[in-house]
Amino acid sequence: MEISEIQESLSVSRGDRPADLLLKNARVINTASCEIIETSVAIFRRRIAGLGNYEATRVENLKGALLAPSFLDGHIHLESSLLSPDQFARVVVPHGTGGVAWDPHEFANVLGARAIEFVLNSTENLPLAVWVMLPSCVPATHMETAGANLDAEALRPFLSHPRVIGIAEVMNFPGVIFGDASVLAKVDIAKGRPVDGHAQGLSGKPLQAYMAAGIGTDHECTTIEEAREKLRGGMRILIREGSTAKNLETLLPLIQPETARRFAFVSDDRHADDLLDEGHMDAILRKAVRLGLDPILAVQLATFNTAESFERKDVGIIAPGRLANLVQLEDLKNFKVVRTWHEGQLVAAEGEVLVSLPPPRTEGVMETVRLGDISVEDFAVKASSSLVRVIDLIPNQIVTGAWTATLRSENGRLQVDASQDIAKLVVVERHRMTGNIGKGFVRGFGLRSGALASSVAHDSHNIVCAGMSDSDMLLAVVTLRRLGGGLCVVNNGKVLAEIALPIAGLVSDRPAREVTESLAKIEQATKSLGVKIHAPFMALSFLALPVIPHLKMTDMGLVDVDAFKIVPLEAESR
């Protein structure tokens, strides 16, 4: 703030001049002291002038209603909602979300620096704070083809932007541990700003080296032992509860009064339908309290702790000088949000956004699916052995198992096997027209026939397709070319359902409700093929992510993540 602005605000805080708004007779959740205080909140312009009895131009009697700081998501890939930033805000602001730390590496893996410019421009005038963590892994590894390559020097110019707050999840943990200069250069440009971690399963001396490089958080903990070791090393633990990866119930016992300040909640990846049906951070709060966490402590994890983790000193607490980002709650059980204020302005009430939301400018971020000629023959898996490695889905996790199966061959080609719940999996490169196609098998979808395909395939976002028929898989892939990116379900030569995601092949340009209606049709279509898992397209999208154990597929082939190398499809033994 300018000195003159501070002086005006101080005159309100002293009681020398009236506030703009007084929210009178509130029960304020104090996230620093973890208590509820009966008081009034004086707001002047964008900020809280003080708590207590104040004169104000406008007074509103809350009659004992609960007030909390608006909720903060400390790590999200907004692209996973499949919504443009304005539509995302339209959904989550009525659920009390006041700020998100967005790692746009999904966009960046497709469009590079142009993606970061798009993200910053398209979030400029939204009724929630959008902070950007610069993507550290574009591409995530050398074992896949991405649409861009961002080194430290390409990222450096963005650090001068006031909403760029740090370096996002450093997924290349081997590069950190063994001192790769290009990886460490990205950590170094942070210069004391937050650096997010991404080191699922890392332990012992490798973890010590990873933390010693200056990485301060981790949202990939899936066991309490892993979280405890990272906590003891000084890391902040970001407990993830998204559409696919759900770690809250497992990690909650580690939250004790003496450790709580080192934890925060994040969603990471959450689909539009889950946001509309269940909510955002409010849904995590409901679940945490249902599982036994003290509700005031839960609010602290979703506000004050997140703000401290990312050095946001203006938010996370209802206190003098902080931004007037507030939510009015019905109770501390269901966490129904009645109203949301952003920087002193009422921006949502009773489930509806009250302010206009400018749509993003999409010039230069469309038409990103580029495929050469492709035929059904390209999907054949030639049989050099009937014993093969198979990616094994694990429900509600983005980690996968590594399984071995015996498959029959026909005309020298390995076949899918519904009796073992084994489908074919391909990843088709879609950025540079290389013609690369990684081919293998996956167990756990429940597919009996047909195919699912998606241009959302973390992190390089090539086309990923699982199916029981090569011809259906081909139709699914070329359908995504026609759509400019998206999701589709195919069976017996017919497209059963589709949704276009033309912004970078990742995000829709349509209203949220329309997107969720299309998702519902897609979900129903997957069930008609036998799929039983929750959020199958979210699960499908993570099968191409070669930094999450244990076995993944990229356009270059099958990746053993533990060994961090591409391995043959054929297995030596069971």
Note whether 317 and 304 are within 8 A (CB).
Answer: yes
Mean pLDDT rounded to a whole number for the chain: 95
**Of 3 and 282, which is predicted with more confidence?**
282
This prediction's pTM:
0.90
Digit-coded pLDDT (tens) for 531-568: 989 889 989 999 999 988 899 999 999 999 989 899 99
Digit-coded pLDDT (tens) for 335-353: 999 999 999 999 999 999 9
CA-to-CA separations, 327 to 264, 323, 347, in angstroms, rounded: 18, 12, 10
**Which distant-in-sequence residues (6+ apart) come within 8 Å of 51 by Cβ?**
28, 37, 39, 40, 41, 42, 318, 319, 320
pLDDT at 6: 87
Determine the residue type at 486: G
529 pLDDT higher than 80: yes
pLDDT at 174: 87
Question: What percent of the chain is modeled with pLDDT above 90?
Answer: 91
23 pLDDT higher than 90: yes
pLDDT at 574: 60
Give the separation between CA 126 and CA 269, rounded to whole angstroms: 20
In the numeric block, the tokens 């004050």 are attached to: 304
Q: Region 361-372: what's the mean pLDDT?
A: 94
* 3-state secondary structure labels for all residues of 434-446: CCCEEEEEEECCC
Q: Of 233, 157, 224, 164, nearest to 197 (Cα)? A: 233
Q: Region 175-187: what's the mean pLDDT?
A: 95
pLDDT at 330: 97
**Sheet (strand 551-554) strand order:** 551-554, 557-560, 565-567
* Band of pLDDT at residue 244, cut at 50, 70 and 90: confident
Question: What percent of the chain is modeled with pLDDT above 70?
Answer: 100
Give the separation between CA 522 and CA 489, rounded to whole angstroms: 7
Note whether 88 and 99 are within 8 A (CB).
Answer: no
Q: Read off the DSSP letter of residue 130.
A: E
To the question of domain 69-315 being in CATH 3.40.50.300, the answer is no
Q: Of 450, 345, 364, 361, nearest to 128 (Cα)? A: 345
Q: Region 290-307: what's the mean pLDDT?
A: 98
44 pLDDT higher than 90: yes
Q: Read off the DSSP letter of residue 264.
A: E
Q: Could you give the residue ranges of the DSSP H alpha helices within 38-95?
A: 85-92
pLDDT at 538: 86
Note whether 504 and 365 are within 8 A (CB).
Answer: yes
Give the separation between CA 353 and CA 158, rounded to whole angstroms: 30
pLDDT at 573: 65
What CATH number matches the domain at 3-64, 2.30.40.10, 3.40.50.740, 3.90.1150.10, 3.40.50.180?
2.30.40.10
Q: Region 325-340: what's the mean pLDDT?
A: 98
Digit-coded pLDDT (tens) for 372-423: 999 999 999 997 889 999 999 998 788 899 999 999 999 999 999 999 999 9
* Band of pLDDT at residue 115, cut at 50, 70 and 90: very high
Q: What residue ranges do the domains of the chain occupy?
A: 3-64, 69-315, 376-567
In the structure encoding, which two tokens stand for residue 266, read together?
Answer: 């994040």
277 pLDDT higher than 90: yes
In the structure encoding, which two tokens stand for residue 351, read together?
Answer: 């489930």
